[in-house]
Chain A
Amino acid sequence: MHQSLETVRESLAQSHTQSKTMAKSPETEHPNKVFGWAARDKSGVLSPFNFSRRDNGENDVTVKILFCGVCHTDLHTIKNDWGYSYYPVVPGHEIVGIATKVGKNVTKFKEGDRVGVGVITGSCQSCESCDQDLENYCPQMAFTYNAIGADGTKNYGGYSDNIVVDQRFVLRFPENLPSDSGAPLLCAGITVYSPMKYYGMTEAGKHLGVAGLGGLGHVAVKIAKAFGLKVTVISSSPKKEEEAITQLGADSFLVTTDPQKMKAAIGTMDYIIDTVSAVHALYPLLGLLKVNGKLIALGLPEKPLELPMFPLVLGRKMVGGSDIGGMKETQEMLDFCAKHNITADIELIKMDEINSAMERLAKSDVKYRFVIDVANSLSPP
């Protein structure tokens, strides 16, 4: 297990033990009752769950949740695929809602503002990464759910009626960005936007390959086109070609199982964003890159991948990674998407449809993100 997940797991274990010894249940550990849906074990089945959240502190914003995107990470976490889940887990880190309370030190938001909360809700706020607005690389970075917050208790995510978040981790949702189809940008959007900026993949006219056409991939196509890139979707499913071109705006589509087309595309791409989370071969993707080409891995495979050295060495190619983004650049990404009218393609579902949605997500049967209509469908029994 990667050390940062190991750290999260250890702190979750500690808090779990502590709350057991102090006989605190999720319902009683905080003053304010909250209702949501949680997974209680690694079957991953979600069901109604009563818990509680802290009072709105002086730096906090309380958000009444309108919509919450269903990220593939939610599925991995409720099934404990990565071995660090501590049940019960309330997932959800693509949250859009309305600020209902703001603490007295909060300057950036007021009651009634439309706001977003993404993948992280805490960091140390004093290390080198935090100083550079890279809270996502802070060693004490806290995930929105299934992690320990600053008060030492477990965080619960956006499959719930409200959330209380430090203002530093709240985002202003631009006016023209719809709440439902804008929600997935809070994870999927920043996850592709951040590496595009960091690795210099935004030069108009350059050629980007997007491997995998799911939540991340489809947003990557849209953002890349807004940067003026030529975009080729690289996929193992020929069926996705028409959508990729006519709906998402990709310039071309490359089926990885077609040897002739793959051969013809060798050495044609400046960069590749690899969103595939299953274990897969890097060799054919590296071949598609030009000399000095960059492949950025964003998917989180369960096992290491095989990295062939010759393509890397002979073409001075690079394999890098990226993890969401800092708060400043997440806001920048939202503003960029608002300016270019970029939203996710979503399927809106009710809260009680979440389990069948998760089954379909496991089979990649969604175009391209489920979003839960929380405000209209989440109701206590």
Chain B
Amino acid sequence: MGKVLEKEAFGLAAKDNSGVLSPFSFSRRETGEKDVRFKVLFCGICHSDLHMVKNEWGSSIYPVVPGHEIVGVVTEVGAKVTKFKTGDNVGVGCLVGSCGSCDNCTEGMENYCPKLIQTYGFKYYDDTITCGGYSDHMVCDEGFVIRIPDNLPMDAAAPLLCAGITVYSPMKYHGLDKPGMHIGVVGLGGLGHVGVKFAKAMGCKVTVISTSEGKRDEAINRLGADTFLVSRDPKQVKDAMGTMDGIIDTVSATHPLLPLLGLLKHKGKLVMVGAPVKPLELPVLPLIFERKMVVGSLIGGIKETQEMMDMAAKHNITADIELISADYVNTAMERLEKADVRYRFVIDVANTLKPSPIL
């Protein structure tokens, strides 16, 4: 039996694996001594939200209140909170808890803690299931709250809390952040477009790798990529063989790895952040004969999320968003499934999310 939560909240939840979201009243805990409570202004729609509302990963516990790209304004802080005060612009990403004592946590890598608690759909310390940012307000331990720098627009900064850190963390960890390096970005969606911006800000040459020509103009003229390559065109792939230091692969559908491995220089790294559900075919010979690597990565730790946000502020990096009202969310999900968005939907929560009418 879960603890009785004291503060009323309202939001949007999926009640079953149709994934359809509808108004949902629930409660959140009182502001604990280490908690930060904030009014949600905006919440990005991540592709993970779509997977979770439809239970595509098999782990969803309904009702699901999604949302882990949440920004807002602090309304209350607990007695032991030191880093934030009322009125601050803050954000919460994918994590709201971790054990705090394992090697991963002590090294600032809470995202790999075996006891990590995600922002929605996970059991919290009080035995309740966490609810995400498609809601009017959030309460979160200060250790998992990110400061949003003043010069970043809140709506366009929200997606950085997941998409941004997801590309930033492996670029730093694998040393793919040096000026002059050549980075490939596979897939031009929420993750990919932010990946291009961060790589450019790090001084890298960027090639966007896509399955179709359609996005060439956007990639080069709007996002600032240096070149564009269609992975299904053998000639384009051949001409670019062995030219990239690293590739950030954001594609979550099943796709061939062989051409991507071929694009890497010797010792190159293929970073998988897209997480397709089915195993991919791994040709081993390119790894052996050219000493290449395939690595995975999952969001990032809290300290580096703040570091990422500060870098974004310094270089004016934000997501390209389509701001929507709360009642558009189901249509947005349908469009997201068809990758019909440039490049992230963000819900204008404060202005459009209303409590369900009392009947």
Q: Given A137-B266, A137-B290, A319-B293, are A310 and B112 neighbors across the interface (CB < 8 Å)? A: no
CB-CB under 8 A from B296, the residues of chain A are 309, 311-318
When each residue 203-220 of chain B gets 1 if its CB lies under 8 Å from chain A and 0 otherwise, what string results?
Answer: 000000000000000000
Q: Is the CB of B285 within 8 A of A313?
A: no
Q: Is the CB of B284 within 8 A of A323?
A: no
Q: Is the CB of A297 within 8 A of B272?
A: no
Q: Given A312-B294, A316-B296, are A300 and B288 neighbors across the interface (CB < 8 Å)? A: yes
Complex Cα–Cα for A317 and B297 (A): 8
Q: Is the CB of A2 within 8 A of B289?
A: yes
Q: Given A309-B275, A313-B272, are A198 and B291 neighbors across the interface (CB < 8 Å)? A: yes
Q: Is the CB of A304 within 8 A of B266?
A: no
Q: Given A2-B285, A304-B284, are A313 and B291 neighbors across the interface (CB < 8 Å)? A: no
Q: Is the CB of B288 within 8 A of A307?
A: no
Q: Given A137-B266, A309-B275, are A323 and B282 neighbors across the interface (CB < 8 Å)? A: no
Interface membership of A152, Cβ < 8 A: no
CB-CB under 8 A from A380, the residues of chain B are none
Complex Cα–Cα for A267 and B113 (A): 12
Q: Is the CB of B297 within 8 A of A316?
A: yes
Q: Is the CB of A291 within 8 A of B112?
A: yes
Q: Is the CB of B112 within 8 A of A306?
A: no
Residue of A137, A309, A317 near B279 (CB, 8 A) is: A309
Q: Is the CB of A300 within 8 A of B294?
A: no
* Contact residues on A (Cβ < 8 Å of other chain), bracket: 35 or more
Q: Is the CB of A297 within 8 A of B279?
A: no
> For chain A residues 95-130, which have a beta carbon within 8 Å of chain B?
129
Complex Cα–Cα for A297 and B344 (A): 38
Q: Is the CB of B293 within 8 A of A323?
A: no
Interface membership of A257, Cβ < 8 A: no
Task: Describe A's contact surface by its main secondary structure.
Answer: mixed
For A129, give the chain B residue with the smallest CB separation. Answer: B266
Interface membership of A321, Cβ < 8 A: yes
Interface membership of B350, Cβ < 8 A: no
Interface membership of B104, Cβ < 8 A: yes
Interface membership of A47, Cβ < 8 A: no
Least distance between B263 CB and chain A CB atoms (Å)? 13
Q: Is the CB of B287 within 8 A of A316?
A: no
Q: Is the CB of B282 within 8 A of A282?
A: yes
Q: Is the CB of A312 within 8 A of B295?
A: yes
Residue of A5, A299, A313 near B298 (CB, 8 A) is: A313
Interface membership of A285, Cβ < 8 A: no
Q: Is the CB of B282 within 8 A of A305?
A: yes
Q: Is the CB of A309 within 8 A of B282?
A: no
CB-CB under 8 A from A298, the residues of chain B are 288
Complex Cα–Cα for A3 and B242 (A): 12
Interface membership of A308, Cβ < 8 A: yes
Interface membership of A256, Cβ < 8 A: no
Complex Cα–Cα for A300 and B288 (A): 8
Complex Cα–Cα for A308 and B279 (A): 4
Complex Cα–Cα for A312 and B286 (A): 18
Complex Cα–Cα for A118 and B57 (A): 49
Complex Cα–Cα for A74 and B266 (A): 26
Least distance between A94 CB and chain B CB atoms (Å)? 18
Q: Is the CB of B286 within 8 A of A2?
A: yes
Interface membership of B355, Cβ < 8 A: no
Q: Is the CB of B292 within 8 A of A320?
A: yes
Interface membership of A238, Cβ < 8 A: no
Least distance between A191 CB and chain B CB atoms (Å)? 10
Complex Cα–Cα for A34 and B280 (A): 48
Q: Is the CB of A318 within 8 A of B293?
A: yes
Q: Given A2-B289, A198-B291, A312-B296, are A319 and B282 neighbors across the interface (CB < 8 Å)? A: yes
CB-CB under 8 A from B287, the residues of chain A are 297, 319-321
Residue of A291, A309, A311, A323 near B291 (CB, 8 A) is: A323
Q: Given A304-B282, A306-B282, A309-B275, are A297 and B295 neighbors across the interface (CB < 8 Å)? A: no
Q: Which of B257, B258, B296 has the most CB of A within 10 A?
A: B296
CB-CB under 8 A from B104, the residues of chain A are 291
Q: Is the CB of B288 within 8 A of A321?
A: yes
Q: Is the CB of B279 within 8 A of A318?
A: no
Interface membership of B180, Cβ < 8 A: no
Complex Cα–Cα for A338 and B117 (A): 51
Least distance between B180 CB and chain A CB atoms (Å)? 15
Interface membership of A80, Cβ < 8 A: no
> For chain A residues 226-246, which have a beta carbon within 8 Å of chain B?
none
Q: Is the CB of B298 within 8 A of A301?
A: no
Complex Cα–Cα for A310 and B112 (A): 13
Complex Cα–Cα for A316 and B111 (A): 10
Q: Given A129-B266, A318-B294, are A309 and B272 neighbors across the interface (CB < 8 Å)? A: yes
Interface membership of A4, Cβ < 8 A: yes
Q: List 12 A-B contacts (CB under 8 A).
A: A3-B262, A129-B266, A137-B266, A306-B280, A307-B282, A309-B279, A313-B296, A314-B296, A316-B112, A316-B297, A318-B293, A320-B291
Q: Which 8 A-B pairs have the closest CB atoms?
A: A321-B287, A312-B296, A321-B288, A313-B296, A307-B282, A2-B285, A320-B293, A306-B279
Using CB atoms and an 8 Å cutoff, list the residues of chain B in contact with chain A. 104, 109, 112, 114, 173, 257-258, 262, 266, 272-277, 279-298
